[in-house]
Structure 1
Amino acid sequence: MMTDRSGAAEDAGEQLALVPVPVARRRAPSRAPVAERPTATAAPVATVVVDTPLAHLDRPFEYLVPAELDDEARPGARVRVRFAGRDHDGFLLARHDVAEHTGRLAPLRRVVSPEPVLTPSVAAAAREVADHYGGSLADVLRLAVPPRHARAERGVSPGPAEDGRVDPADADPTARDRGTLGGAWAAYPAGPALLRRLAAGESPSAAWLALPAQPHGRGWATALAEVVAATWRSGRSAVVVVPDHRDVARLVPEVEALVGEGECVQLTADLGPEARYRAFLTVLRGHARVVVGTRSAAWAPVRDAGLFACWDDGDDLHHEPRAPYPHVREVLRVRARTEGAGLLVGGLGRSVELQSWVERGELPDVSAARGTVRAVAPAVVVAGEGHQQDRDAAARSARIPSVAWRALREGLEHGPVLVQVPRQGYVVSLSCQECRAPVRCSRCEGPVGIGGGGRTPACRWCGTPARAGQACRSCGSSRLRSAGLGEQRTAEELGRAFPSVRVISSGGQHVVARVDDAPALVVATPGAEPWAPSGYHAVALLDAWRLLDRATIDAGVEALRRWTAAAGLVRPTGAGGASAARVVLCGAPPHAGVPAVEALVRWDPVGLATRELADRTALGLPPARRHAAVRGPARAVDEVVEALGAAGHVVLGRPLADERDEAQVLVREGDAGDGDPPGSLAAGVRAVRASRSARKADEVVRAVLDPGDGLL
């Protein structure tokens, strides 16, 4: 995997010699020199990746294996080594007979655990992901391998022998009778072929556009469970990554119904250290072949991988907030390529990045025919469109127009209804009653809002209370009005309008996973919508302008993704007992002028992603050209972007040289960049990080490639 190995005692630039200074150079030695430790007779040289934050030391180092550690010093094991005068953790990558370094080598201090927690396939993928994002291998390994927990290590029995793999159908006599695969894929022309190939031991890849409003047994969770079961029945492993724990809780029962309880392991962020490490070891030692989890599950060390799947890749929860900030979609693509496995990326929407893979021919498109989509997609009504203004003059300007009220009232006669609000909280922001200028904090210039009913207005950034009677900076008026309402205030207002109906609020720290079929008004923020097993009887999407006006490059695509996620929860078409469920979009201009609104009405996420990709390709924007967001003190940022500009990349703006405040500058990859070659933006970011690390620069500068919402 790695050919650039350096001796641990090498003295290069800023590095310190790792071998103690010979006794002859010391003045008045206080004790006799310690005898040399005998080394292992077979493969005495260990290649170790040291856990260090120094970017210029992002390469493996060589150490000697003492004879007493010969049996425990296995590839993939955690070790303790002496590095730059201190003890550091590390992973033993491999052992060799001859060292590449010509000088003296320091010995391994000890083996923390002989458990080979870093598999060769994960190590290879981690190196590739680090290079792709301009980061270091040590940073990626912190994300890939959880911290050791000794009690969990003792509590998991040793794994089966490598050659003792048992056919899943033979291991459980009921495995063949757990259900016929393919019911959830019958609506997709390429679905049955995908299942057949996976069951036959092949590794197909696909970009899947899931159908909305599906009945029980045909939804996205069942479809994912079926592809997992097909892979499992071929004797291989599968990894599925979903945005949050509520999706895990919905998917795991579907998977276990097809493969059995003992074959599925959950890996989520809310597991404690012991439970997470126990689940990790259960997969590592071969006790389970299916992993379902959130972001960290993308690195699960499965044996004989057959499928890596990601649901709703556009969700920002898939973007790792720690360096080097990789995205689950890219991690799974790298793992599928390095391990020869299949890749399935699906969702109700289509991200621009995924569409670029489809148009480059990397992933075939698996979707239903347009006639099928039109038959099952919910009916979407845009408030203020057509003749609505003749009946309701405020249909276009009211926050909840009469068409939405009617849809909610009619839906409540049969079951739960959903109201999506873009922001959480009570009154998100205030503005002047006279001139509509936003009210800003006198201390930090942050937005002023109200955190709860009857509370004093205060800054939402620093918490400073607003002064009573504070005059508007633009017109001098002291009268205020609400400029944006959150889900708490919305739930309060709807509760007054429907006094006899149960109101459920979901968002922020209080997220409801599921609601029953009894009538209820469910007010939720995007991503926090509870699952209704029988579907919602009406959905109102409020304040559409807030999502469309977000200052990000993905505003339109992200707005459509959030709308389809909520609208896709409606009751399936043809379900008996009630009229057809309706989706009402409020607060948007007529759909003919807004591509995202038009795509929602037609239920065409692929069309919007295709149009967006064409525009970005013409303008040189992501994903056609990679960008990096460089953030930090202005002078340090200026230094970094100057180095990147000298390497042939395009700097989009530059902070003032004498500015000391935080700054952000975007850098676009130059014409030489293609993939991750030496001239790519990722290589340039990595070189700048190494240079600053080698000269011990004081300022902390973050360089985030493919920054997503950071791309303003």
Structure 2
Amino acid sequence: MSTIAHVVVDVDVAHLDRPFDYLVPEKFTSKAHVGSLVRVMWGGRRVNGWIVSMADSSTHDPSPILAVTSTIPLFTERMLRTYRYVAQRYCATLSQVLSMAIPLRRAAVEKELSGPPQHKPMFEGKMPLDALYPGTQLAPNARIVATGIPHRIRASLAGLLQWASNQDIQVIITVPTGWQAAKLFEWLKAESGSSAIGLQVSEASPVQRFRTHVRALRGDFQVVVGTLAAVWTPVGDEAIIVTWDGDSDLSRSRRTPQADALDIAVARSVNEGLGIIAASFSRTVKTQAMVDSHWAVEPPVSHSIMRDMCPKVRVTGPESFEREGTSAFHGLPDSAFSLIRQNLDRGPVLIQVPGPGIEIDDGEVTIRLGAQRMGSDLGRAFPGTPVVVSASSTSIVRTLDRRPRIVVATPGAEPAVQHGYASVIVTEAHLLTFSERLDALDIALRRWFSTFAMAEAGAHVMLIGETDPQIVRALSLWNPVPAVRAQLAEREELGFFPARWMVALDGESHAVSEVATALEKVPLVPAVHIVGTVERESDNDDGSLFSARTIVRTIVACRPAQAMELMREIQAIRIARSLERKPTIHVTVNPPELF
């Protein structure tokens, strides 16, 4: 009896996004399994492919598999369910998802990892998790949205890992940047005294990434920490994924499928039954919707510990500027200088500026503010005090000691200081508050809560600039939930994400119009809603007036429960257009910029 392998070829074309039959030669029958990487002939050339299922027969005469290149299956049928789900939900081909989830194979790695799995690490929590989050019920399939407590993140994590170790439950931890992942990895190794902890970051070499993937498949790790790349790590039947700021821009893929770490964690929870903990100092409308819909629970935080650990935030806005004079509009107000003087003798003071430099025009004078300019100004204002500038435009300083100094940094370039800064000042609040992005509130709250959490426990900190009163209350009370809930209610009223599943269609005007018209006819109740269409750009290929192409964006929306049906229809339309060689349409799911 012949053995037939259904193979997804590594070709990213919409109408080829399906398995093809290949004959498994007898010499490969013991090696070919679901999850195996193979070489096959496709269109007259050799290409890679993945076996996604097996059969005893085929309706036509299939070509043989040329080689089974992986000595072990690189994914399981359980993981394949997630891959298919992500491909459909985020309008990608299955081969695109497989290419993202599975690192490039390295034969030498498979040969070197032929010994027994490593021993599992044991963690000892120094503070019971119940002391930080009273009444929290952990389970392998728990769905939790947690608020991080400043200066107690590692204590919380140690308590979680101690519980997971005792229950033999694997844990995946994702953070936004490779530097954060490396720091966390070193701390976990030191705490556990074990080498059975994996690091999976996109910056790693292909060999390192594939080695971590294979070791995870073998069951070597109880804990894997990393960036977005880590969220795909193979795990056993019982595992929890912890995402820190998992729905931030830094945790979002730049290539198809354009999903973030939280999206993938949710997909794995739905399809593989894994637990999920979405944690952050702040809250976003996406995570709040998970709580309000009862898909996830929000554990109560110890109010006494939170009160002792969180900083005291003061917001200095336009009213204060008017009292202090025009200089406050172009630099730091007098109240900020006073805050620096009051705290410098206790340790370093952080001044966060938006970037290397920003043009500001008040109608009379244009000046340039930024890290270098702010550092120079503060150096003159505080002679004899060391000033450190940390910015991507110059150099990034990663760590500092507690000696008094002024630190000027751009977002993401703030040096880490043990026990925190004596004080923190954030400038130019209006730039985030009045951004045109749909998720401007989410970004502002995340950045400012995270930045102020760098201050020592109980420190006095300051936000400078005009901002939303809801943000002022959120920071003053150190509670982002009311502001996010209000934003969520507004999104529901307007019909925006996450109250609606939104899809942006970008392309030539006539092509986008054809797709949008077809989607309006999809039999959904309520029907697909066309939010609007705007012209994105116009180009002219040959310089003539009448050959210009008009590029537009149309937003379509439906209820979240109908998302998979809508995406199935969009994928079917894309396949049909690909077969007919019609102009392509670029699809973006829940875009942060609507138009």
**If the length of structure 2 is used for normalisation, what is the TM-score?**
0.90
Please give the alpha-carbon distance, in whole angstroms, between the structure 2 residues aligned to 1:241 and 1:419: 28
Inter-partner Cα distance in structure 2 for 1:684 and 1:499:
66
Q: CA deviation at 1:652?
A: 3.1
Q: 1:382 to 1:413 in 2, by over 3 A?
A: same
Query: Aligned residue for 2:471?
Result: 596
Matched, 1:60 2:39: no
Which amino acid in 1 is paired with 2:352?
Answer: Q
Residues 379 and 554 of structure 1: is their aligned pair in 2 closer, same or farther, counting only changes over 3 Å? same
Q: Which moved more, 1:409-418 or 1:652-661?
A: 652-661
Structure with more helix by fraction? 2
Matches within 5 A, 1:22-41: 41=1
**Sequence identity of aligned pairs in percent?**
30
Asked if 1:407 is matched to 2:339, the reply is yes
Shift of 1:531: 1.7
Quick one: distance in 2 between partners of 1:495 and 1:389?
22
What is the match of residue 563 of structure 1? 448
Please tell me whether the aligned partners of residues 290 and 296 of structure 2 are also in contact (alpha carbons under 8 angstroms).
Answer: yes
Q: Say whether residues 1:670 and 2:575 are aligned partners.
A: no
The one-letter code sitting in structure 1 at the alignment partner of 2:142 is P
> Cα deviation per residue 1:374-429 (whole Å; 9 max; x = unaligned)?
4432111122588x57973459635310111111122221211111112x22x333
Change (3 A) 1:508 1:688: farther
Look at both structures and tell me which one has the larger radius of gyration over its CA atoms: 1
> Are 1:373 and 2:306 an aligned pair?
yes
SS at match of 2:457: coil
For 1:206, the aligned partner's letter is I
Alignment of 1:580-619 (within 5 A): 581-588=459-466, 594-619=469-494
1:546 to 422, 428, 431: 431
Q: Is it true that 1:323 corresponds to 2:256 in the alignment?
A: yes
Contact 1:595–1:608 (8 Å) recurs in 2 = yes
Distance 1:184 1:534 in 2: 21
User: Residue 477 of structure 1 corresponds to which residue in structure 2?
Assistant: none
Distance in 2 separating the partners of 1:562 and 1:238: 26
Name the CA distance, whole Å, in 1 between partners of 2:369 and 2:573: 44
Equivalent residue, structure 2, for 1:265: 198
Secondary structure at 1:669 match in 2:
strand
Please give the secondary structure, in 2, of the residue aligned with 1:380.
Answer: strand
Counterparts of 1:430 and 1:390, CA distance in 2: 17
Please list, as runs of the form range in 1=range in 2, the aligned pairs for 1:595-674 lying within 5 A after superposition: 595-647=470-522, 648-655=527-534, 659-660=538-539, 663-670=551-558, 674=561
Q: 2:230 is matched by which residue type in structure 1?
A: A
Counterpart code for 2:145: A
Q: Partner of 1:133 in structure 2?
A: 90
Question: What is the Cα deviation at residue 363 of structure 1?
Answer: 0.8
CA distance 1:235–1:630, change in 2 (3 Å): same
In structure 2, do the counterparts of structure 1 residues 674 and 278 end up closer, same or farther at CA, with 3 Å as the change threshold? same
Q: Determine which structure has the larger strand proportion and give its number.
A: 2
Q: Tell me the amino acid that sits aligned with residue 407 of structure 1.
A: L
Q: 3-state DSSP class of the match of 1:113?
A: coil
**SS of equivalent residue, structure 2 residue 438:** coil
Q: Residues 658 and 307 of structure 1: is their aligned pair in 2 closer, same or farther, counting only changes over 3 Å?
A: closer
1:206 is aligned to: 144
Distance 1:677 1:268 in 2: 30
C-alpha distance in structure 2 between counterparts of 1:511 and 1:303, whole Å: 39
> RMSD of the alignment, in Å?
2.7
Matches within 5 A, 1:564-579: 564-573=449-458
Cα distance between partner residues in 1 of 2:514 and 2:371: 44
Q: Deviations over 1:582-637 (max 9, x none)?
A: 11111125xxx621222111211111111111111111110010111223444544
Tell me the CA shift for residue 657 of structure 1: 12
Gaps (5+ residues) in structure 2?
Answer: 540-548
Q: Distance in 2 between matches of 1:631 and 1:486?
A: 35
Stretches of structure 1 lacking an aligned partner (at least 5 in a row): 1-40, 435-479, 574-580
Q: Tell whether the 8 Å contact from 1:540 to 1:586 is kept in structure 2 after alignment.
A: yes
**Structure 2 counterpart of 1:360:** 293
C-alpha displacement of 1:357:
0.6
Distance 1:390 1:207 in 2: 41
Q: Which moved more, 1:640-649 or 1:331-340?
A: 640-649
Instruction: For 1:395 and 1:145, locate their aligned partners in 2 and report how far apart those are by CA, in whole Å.
Output: 55
**1: CA distance, partners of 2:496 / 2:4:** 47
Letter in 2 for 1:406: S
Alpha-carbon distance change, 156 to 504 in structure 1, aligned in 2, over 3 angstroms:
farther
Q: Distance in 2 between matches of 1:430 and 1:570?
A: 29
The corresponding residue for 1:702 is: 586
Match for 2:79: what amino acid? Answer: V
Letter of the structure 1 residue corresponding to residue 463 of structure 2: L
5 Å-filtered alignment, 1:168-207, equals 168=120, 175=122, 179-180=124-125, 182-183=127-128, 185-191=130-136, 193-194=137-138, 197=139, 202-207=140-145
Residue 45 of structure 1 pairs with residue 4 of structure 2: yes
* Partner secondary structure for residue 400 of structure 2: coil
Structure 1 Cα separation of the partners of residues 345 and 318 of structure 2: 26
Question: For residues 22-68 of structure 1, what are the alpha-carbon distances to aligned partners after superposition, in whole Å with 9 as ceiling and x for unaligned?
Answer: xxxxxxxxxxxxxxxxxxx5x61111111111112222222110112
State the partner residue of 1:277: 210
| Candidates 38, 56, 60, aligned match of 1:103 | 60
The corresponding residue for 1:82 is: 41
Amino acid corresponding to residue 344 of structure 1 in structure 2 = I
Report the CA distance between 1:700 and its aligned residue: 4.9
Partner of 1:428: 358
Which residue of the partner structure matches residue 546 of structure 2? Answer: none
* Alignment match, 1:457: none
Superposition deviation, residue 230 in structure 1: 1.9
Letter in 2 for 1:211: I
Instruction: Give me the whole-angstrom Cα distance separating, in 1, the residues matched to 2:375 and 2:576.
Output: 53
TM-score of the aligned structures, taking structure 1 as reference length? 0.76
Is the contact between residue 171 and residue 240 of structure 2 (CA under 8 Å) also seen in structure 1?
A: yes
Q: Secondary structure at the match of 2:329?
A: coil
Secondary structure, counterpart of 1:325 in structure 2: coil
How far 1:515 sits from its partner (Å)? Answer: 1.6
Contact 2:318 2:465 in 1 (8 A): no
